Amino acid sequence: MVNITRKSNSLRIAIATATVKVSKQETIDAIEQRKIPKGDVFEFARAAGLFGVKKTSDVIPDCHPLPIEYTAITYEIVGLTIIITVEVHTIYKTGVEVEAMHGASVTALTMYDMLKPIDKGVEIENIRLLKKSGGKSDLKNAKFPEIKTAVVVCSDSVFENKAQDTSGKAIIMRLEQWGINTAKYEIVPDETEAIRNKAIELNKAGFKLVIFTGGTGLSPRDVTPEAIAPLIDRNIEGIMETARRYGQERMPYAMLSRGVAGFIGETLALTFPGSKSGAEESMDALFPQVLHLFKVVKGEKH
């Protein structure tokens, strides 16, 4: 199974269709008049389709078990064709397109089974995904403005060449995945004045996004929040709340991170943990959706 532990829950919707074609009008009439010997085709097939949606992971090995929040199965008769539409919703880490298509196929097969005693020409013509939404795939083709970006590593040991930076380089790699080039990569010691001066310098240089990594914990030298918080004109609590919640679901100490986020003038400042895993988790939790801010601050609609 695909590893989805890095993904975040979001509303996922999928709509699939299947078509069942009969060979004579008498079959359609019998369906509409509820005169099929095996019972009400629409209701039996709908019930089977609901089971099909919920049991998808039981019969398709690579599908993740997931909570089904909503399913609707509807029908439309066009001539001798019955169009089945299955809509499935979940709030989870992965999509429900296979669940919707499986539900449509089971609905169609149930119809076929119920109709074949009176119509030997019944056919299932196609099963296909009509629409899906939710998750980061919705943003895959999103166009974000050119964002002048800097990454600043706050670490005494890295500054003194006693250790190698891993978190800053991990952030740069994650940014590249979303087409963002890091124009400046800096290393500063864990000193309030040094971190604050670097933030002011980058703001004056026109950087729109500055990510600080390191110094957000509770050790005596962790001073990044104290350095950055007084500079922030517009605090955005939800950003680091989201990052901490995401991290807490993966390791128990994420709640101890004191990172802050907000605008210093027109510069969005983010403060991430100094560990490679903490920085990567913060990136996974926030990107690319946080980039939407750069459209909102220009007055564009959500």
Q: For residue 3, give every residue at least 6 positions away whose Cβ sits within 8 Å of its Cβ, in sequence order, or none.
A: none
Say whether 113 is catalytic: yes
How far is the first Cα of the chain from the last one, in angstroms, to the nearest whole number? 34
| Mean pLDDT over each residue of the chain, to the nearest integer | 94
Cα distance between residue 210 and residue 149, in whole Å:
6
In this prediction, residue 296 carries a pLDDT of 81
pLDDT at 58: 96
The torsion angle over the Cα atoms of residues 230, 235, 236 and 239, rounded to 10 degrees, is: 0
**Measured between alpha carbons, how far is 7 from 230 in angstroms, rounded to an integer?**
33
Q: How far apart are CA 192 and CA 70, in angstroms?
A: 51
**C-beta separation of 215 from 195 below 8 A:** yes
pLDDT of 32: 96
pLDDT at 137: 66
pLDDT per residue as tens, the chain (302 positions): 999 988 888 899 999 999 999 999 999 999 999 999 999 999 999 999 999 999 999 999 999 999 999 999 999 999 999 999 999 999 999 999 999 999 999 999 999 999 999 999 999 999 999 999 987 666 665 666 689 999 999 999 999 999 999 999 999 999 998 889 999 999 999 999 999 999 999 999 999 999 999 999 999 999 999 999 999 999 999 999 999 999 999 989 999 999 999 999 999 999 999 999 999 999 999 998 899 888 887 766 65
pLDDT at 178: 87
**pLDDT confidence of residue 292:** 87
> What pLDDT sits at residue 6?
84
| Residue 168 token pair | 């800053």
> Residue 144: what pLDDT?
65
Residue 229 CA to residue 148 CA, distance in Å, equals 21
Q: What is the pLDDT of residues 72-129, one digit of tens each?
A: 999 999 999 999 999 999 999 999 999 999 999 999 999 999 999 999 999 999 999 9
CA distance 2 to 6: 11
Give CA–CA dist 153/166, Å, rounded: 9
What is the residue type of 121? G
Considering the candidates 113, 119, 138, 222, report the single residue annotated as catalytic. 113
